[in-house]
Amino acid sequence: MSQTTDQIKPVAASGRRWVSIALGVVVSVFLLWWASRGLELGTVVAQLRRLNPWAVLLAVLIATLSFPLRLLRWRILLRAPDGGPIGYGPAWHAIALGFMSNNVLALRAGELVRCYAASRLAPVKFSTALASVAVERVFDSMTVVASLIIILLAGTLPEGTVVGGVPVDRLAGRVALIAFAALAAAAIVLWTPSTFRRVIRSVVPFPRIAEGLVHILDGILEGIGALKSPRLLLAVIGWSAVIWLVNGVSFLILFQAFGLSLSFSAALLVQAAIVFSIALPSSPGFVGVFEAAVVASLGLYGVPQDQAFAYAITYHVATFLPITLLGLYSLIRTPLHWSDIRTGRKA
């Protein structure tokens, strides 16, 4: 009986995985259709032919610079057993392999690949690396949301802009209120984690789900443990701001390549739209969700659909290649093999 159960579990897990992959493909195809609906290929090609190649190259270089900046921040969050940061080499290879894997593997497997690579290349546990990445994502989300609130409150969108049927000025207040509530909740969790664990176990009716949420909470708390020093905490906040501001500059420069006279706030809005959209299920490389986010956000500024779609595919393809090639180089330079990564990411 137990033997049969043990055989069924991997089959069920495999079935869920394929369902998730299929859902991601459907979402990607639908959003790619939505972003390109009604367009003629000739009009998009015409936009691409008018590009300034040097501006495209500069935008790609600046976008790629965000990965070394992530390396500097991750070394603050991910500590070796002796409390010191892990080496630059292992940390860089893990980051390159992780982001490459996000581009070529389904289910955003790159996050797990990065943690697996770090645990193989540096003296850290997989769970410790995973906790650090979870905290990294928290700081990324907070930084992008903060930039979005500033954009909405500053009134940089065209007058009368409506998002989801809500005027922008009213939307700004709602977003700010939600962000403040989230920060307050996070502070309460950090100050009283044991109380919050009890609340989860008493409120969530399904024990397995409750324990899963508690496990996630413990992982985030473990990652934040590296930030007990105010100096390190400020460093992570500062690097998070730098990473996303630098990445925002790459969007701004690509505006120039397309002859778009849009401000830096527009670049940050496009960036925020992409960050939120790639949380959706999608195919490897976030095909479709990326293009839809760019077309929708540029549409708020009156950018024609053909120009917005050409901008989206240019940025997507051009920034896809460098980190993918850097990841392949790391795969060659390290003792890891592709089969190791595919096996390790399932652990």
The structural domains of the chain, with segments of one domain joined by +, span: 21-344
CA-based Rg of the chain, rounded to a whole angstrom? Answer: 21
DSSP 253-273: HHHHHTT----HHHHHHHHHH
- Mean pLDDT throughout 293-300? 95
Higher pLDDT, 268 or 174: 268
The one-letter amino acid at 72 = L
How does pLDDT run across 54-104, given as a tens digit for each residue? 999 999 999 999 999 999 999 999 988 888 889 999 999 999 999 999 999
- Mean pLDDT throughout 164-190? 71
Q: Is 1 in a helix, a strand, or coil?
A: coil
Question: pLDDT category, 5, cuts 50, 70, 90?
Answer: very low
C-alpha 80/C-alpha 108 separation (Å) is: 26
Bridge pairing between strands 166-167 and 162-163: antiparallel
- Residue 2: pLDDT above 70? no
Q: Which two tokens stand for residue 313?
A: 């595919």
Higher pLDDT, 175 or 347: 175
Q: Is 299 in a helix, a strand, or coil?
A: helix
Question: pLDDT category, 32, cuts 50, 70, 90?
Answer: very high
Task: Report whether 200 contacts 208 (CB < 8 A).
Answer: no
Question: pLDDT category, 12, cuts 50, 70, 90?
Answer: low
- Residue 7: pLDDT above 50? no
C-alpha 189/C-alpha 139 separation (Å) is: 16
- Residue 331: pLDDT above 60? yes
- Dihedral, CA of residue 201, residue 207, residue 213 and residue 218, to nearest 10: 70
Residue 288 carries which DSSP code? T
Least confident of 114-118, 194-198, 248-252: 194-198
* pLDDT confidence of residue 153: 78
Sign for the pseudo-dihedral over CA of 285, 286, 288, 294: negative
Q: Is 166 in a helix, a strand, or coil?
A: strand
How does pLDDT run across 201-237, given as a tens digit for each residue? 888 888 888 888 887 777 777 667 667 778 888 999 9
* pLDDT confidence of residue 163: 65
Least confident of 19-23, 134-138, 177-181, 321-325: 177-181
Share of the chain above pLDDT 90, in %: 53
Q: Return the residue matching tokens 């708390």.
A: 221
Q: Beta-strand (E) ranges in the chain?
A: 162-163, 166-167
Average pLDDT, the chain: 86
- Residue 34: pLDDT above 80? yes
Q: Which two tokens stand for residue 185?
A: 């909740």
Question: pLDDT category, 3, cuts 50, 70, 90?
Answer: low
* pLDDT confidence of residue 130: 87
Most confidently modeled range among 103-107, 185-189, 228-232: 103-107
DSSP 220-248: HHHHHGGG-SHHHHHHHHHHHHHHHHHHH
Sign for the pseudo-dihedral over CA of 93, 99, 105, 108: positive
* pLDDT confidence of residue 9: 47
